[in-house]
Amino acid sequence: MSDAPASVSKDFIRELIAADVAAQRNEGWVITRFPPEPNGYLHIGHAKSICLNFGLALENAPKSRCHLRFDDTNPVKEEVEYVHSIQEDVKWLGFDWGQNLFYASDYFEKLYGFAVQLIEKGLAYVDDQTLEQVRAHRGSLTQPGTPSPYRDRSVAENKDMFARMRAGEFREGERILRAKIDMASPNMNLRDPVIYRILHAHHHRTGDAWCIYPMYDYAHPLSDALEGITHSLCTLEFEHHRPLYEWLIDNVDGLPGKPYQREFARLNLTYTVMSKRKLLEMVKAGLVNGWDDPRMPTISGIRRRGYTPASVRVFCETIGLTKYPSLTELALLEHCVREDLNKHAQRVYGVLRPLKVVITNYPEGQVEEVELVNNPEDPEAGKRRVPLSRELYIERDDFMEHPVPDFHRLVPGGEVRLKYAFCIICHEVVKDAAGEVVELRCTYDDATRRGVKPVGRPKVKGTIHWVSAAQALDVQVRLYDKLFTEAQPDEAAGEEGSFTQFLNPASLEVVTAKLEPSVASASGGAHYQFERVGYFYTDPKDSRPGAPVFNRTVALKDGFAKGK
């Protein structure tokens, strides 16, 4: 039995693996891999696969490991930048591949040899048709495919042709190598799939050594076998590729391992597109500010937004593994982020949309200090002192001149508690020429400190936060919201449209907030809770000493400021 931590419930993959371990398949070893193609930055969907594959290795230690393998078989779309970012992202999530960093391109010579072996066995042939012709002759689900006129080339001719393909004698598209399987198979992937194509392209690792490149469906199972992978776990769309995976493992001789493939449902999230191709499209079109724009569902984006690795891991554990496609609520991910940040984030007072309050009966020039706890969830976090004086800022939303029913914060003539200070009563609403409220003139009741209730006046129902005006810091805060207005932008766009038409124009609002002076020392990459407002993260790129820039990670709860 695997000794999975109690918190990891047994899904169908874990049950399968536990059974393999119990049966001493592969002498009880569990060797998994995370195999990204370096053609873009990783997204939150990849996190699911990373947590699964690396998680399985941890759960099955010591006879286990997880490889990071770059499936770098398409030089046209791949870049070193992506290779670096992927490693950074996996590490950030808290996983370690140790010595086990691999590249499919490291196996190009071996993969070539296996192809020659298939040719020699009469199981592969060089086809002079173009990819388009191959596609056109593949048949349909009801019609068998049409065999290529080149299907019965002799072994000798195939070997010669394949060697000439490698030697660069042909132009792109002039020849391909196909596995010879079954043109009438009900599984289209077995109708003589293309396994090599010509690409006169520079590869980020092999340079110009090759001008033929293996197809993913060919390179992937053989790379798994070469590395001794025991369980090759991928997403459902590869289910129909499994017979080809098995055909290759069965028909290539001399493989050190005999992996098998199983599929699980990919993560789909509401208000999110999850495809490197589409994310790249947004980056290229300048619709977002790069791959690590905090609105992006990329690992680098959510990292910069202030999501924590622990929260992403808990999220992946919570959603679990199924065999059926599903859609997960973005709200669940945000919930996991909040739960984690609640435990660790330093509390501060900050006002996003400041409204000035003058406490007319508080002595001019007097400044007192209020002691506040840094994190009620963490006694170790200590306390800090925050100034309080005659002029303050409160959140605009915490005042309503014409209150809606059940609004319990500040209203003309009403009373509210300033958190950890005292109660104030609003006597006068000052407006500018345009009729905009610019200042509230209030009085305070010194007898209401330390939670003491006002005497002879109605019960005070609301408590609000505040910042002392004279000491407040003006700080840039970026308020991020959902990137899309539609829960399923792809579906909403349909065949004709583009998901980009549902980009949320209000996904970024930049405000100058008033923050308590203690944040002046904040450096980039620190988590905060602005009390009653939300969780914020000092932008690691744009924060400067003494001038932090804050990204809103997530609001404090859904529906904040809806009048409670």
8 A C-beta contact, residue 435 and residue 401: no
Distances (CA, A) of 12 to 16, 194, 233, 318: 6, 32, 12, 15
Which range of residues in 22-30, 34-42, 154-162, 196-204 is near ligand ATP by CB under 6 A?
Answer: 34-42
Which is nearest to 385 in space by CA: 369, 406, 364, 362? Answer: 369
| Residue from the set 9, 154, 275, 501 that interacts with ligand ATP by CB under 6 A | 275
| Residue from the set 117, 130, 235, 485 that interacts with ligand ATP by CB under 6 A | 235
Which range of residues in 74-82, 192-200, 273-281, 292-300 is near ligand ATP by CB under 6 A?
Answer: 273-281
440 bridge partner residues:
357, 429
Residue 225 interaction partner, one of Mg ion, ligand ATP, none, beta carbon < 5-8 Å per kind: none
Shortest gap between Cβ of 277 and ligand ATP (angstroms)?
Answer: 6
State yes or no: is 266 an active-site residue: yes
Site for Mg ion in 28-67 (CB under 5 A): 37
511 bridge partner residues:
477
The residue (of 86 and 519) whose beta carbon lies closer to Mg ion is: 86
Residue 497 neighbours by CB distance under 10 Å: 12
The residue (of 77 and 527) whose beta carbon lies closer to Mg ion is: 77
Shortest gap between Cβ of 287 and ligand ATP (angstroms)?
Answer: 17
352 bridge partner residues:
none
Site for ligand ATP in 36-65 (CB under 6 A): 36-37, 45-46, 48-49
SS (H, E, C) 44-101: HHHHHHHHHHHHHHHHCCCCEEEEEEECCCCCCCCCHHHHHHHHHHHHHCCCCCCCCE
Is the backbone of residue 445 left (phi > 0), alpha (psi -120 to 50) or beta?
Answer: beta
Q: Does 297 bind ligand ATP (CB under 6 A)?
A: no
The string of DSSP letters for 491-509 reads HHHTTTS-GGGGB-TTSEE
Q: How far apart are CA 476 and CA 479, in angstroms?
A: 10
Q: Which of 33, 48, 69, 276 is catalytic?
A: 276
Instruction: At 231, give phi and psi (nearest 5°).
Output: -130, 115
Q: Which of 266, 278, 356, 461 is catalytic?
A: 266
Residue 234 interaction partner, one of Mg ion, ligand ATP, none, beta carbon < 5-8 Å per kind: ligand ATP
The residue (of 37 and 334) whose beta carbon lies closer to Mg ion is: 37
- Report residue 310 as tokens: 């622990």
Shortest gap between Cβ of 325 and ligand ATP (angstroms)?
Answer: 10
Q: Does 318 bind ligand ATP (CB under 6 A)?
A: no
The residue (of 202 and 277) whose beta carbon lies closer to ligand ATP is: 277
Which residue shows structure tokens 């960093």? 101
> Would you give the binding string for ligand ATP spanning residues 176-215, x where CB under 6 A is met?
----------------------------------------
Q: How far apart are CA 350 and CA 466, in angstroms?
A: 7
Q: How far apart are CA 431 and CA 448, in angstroms?
A: 29
Shortest gap between Cβ of 275 and ligand ATP (angstroms)?
Answer: 4
Which range of residues in 35-43, 88-96, 402-410, 484-492 is near ligand ATP by CB under 6 A?
Answer: 35-43
Shortest gap between Cβ of 279 and Mg ion (angstroms)?
Answer: 13
Is the backbone of residue 228 left (phi > 0), alpha (psi -120 to 50) or beta?
Answer: left
8 A C-beta contact, residue 86 and residue 70: yes
Query: Rounded to the nearest 5 degrees, what angle is found at the Cα of 115, between the Cα atoms of 111 and 117?
Result: 115
Q: How far apart are CA 475 and CA 14, in angstroms?
A: 48
Site for ligand ATP in 534-563 (CB under 6 A): none
Shortest gap between Cβ of 316 and ligand ATP (angstroms)?
Answer: 9
Query: Rounded to the nearest 5 degrees, what angle is found at the Cα of 57, between the Cα atoms of 54 and 59?
Result: 110
Residue 275 interaction partner, one of ligand ATP, Mg ion, none, beta carbon < 5-8 Å per kind: ligand ATP
Shortest gap between Cβ of 349 and ligand ATP (angstroms)?
Answer: 39
Shortest gap between Cβ of 288 and ligand ATP (angstroms)?
Answer: 16
Q: How many residues bind Mg ion (CB under 5 A)?
A: 1
Q: Does 267 bind ligand ATP (CB under 6 A)?
A: yes
Q: Does 234 bind ligand ATP (CB under 6 A)?
A: yes
**Alpha helices of 93-208 — where are they, by DSSP H?**
108-120, 131-136, 155-167
Residue 187 interaction partner, one of Mg ion, ligand ATP, none, beta carbon < 5-8 Å per kind: none
The residue (of 36 and 259) whose beta carbon lies closer to Mg ion is: 36
- Report residue 13 as tokens: 């993959």
Residues 6+ away with beta carbon under 8 Å from 544: none
Shortest gap between Cβ of 34 and ligand ATP (angstroms)?
Answer: 6
8 A C-beta contact, residue 51 and residue 313: yes
| Residue from the set 180, 276, 338, 514 that interacts with ligand ATP by CB under 6 A | 276
State yes or no: is 276 an active-site residue: yes
510 bridge partner residues:
478
Q: Which residue lies nearest Mg ion, judged by its C-beta?
A: 37
Q: Does 69 bind ligand ATP (CB under 6 A)?
A: no
Which residues are known catalytic residues?
37, 266, 276
The residues binding ligand ATP (CB under 6 A) are 35-37, 45-46, 48-49, 234-235, 266-267, 274-277
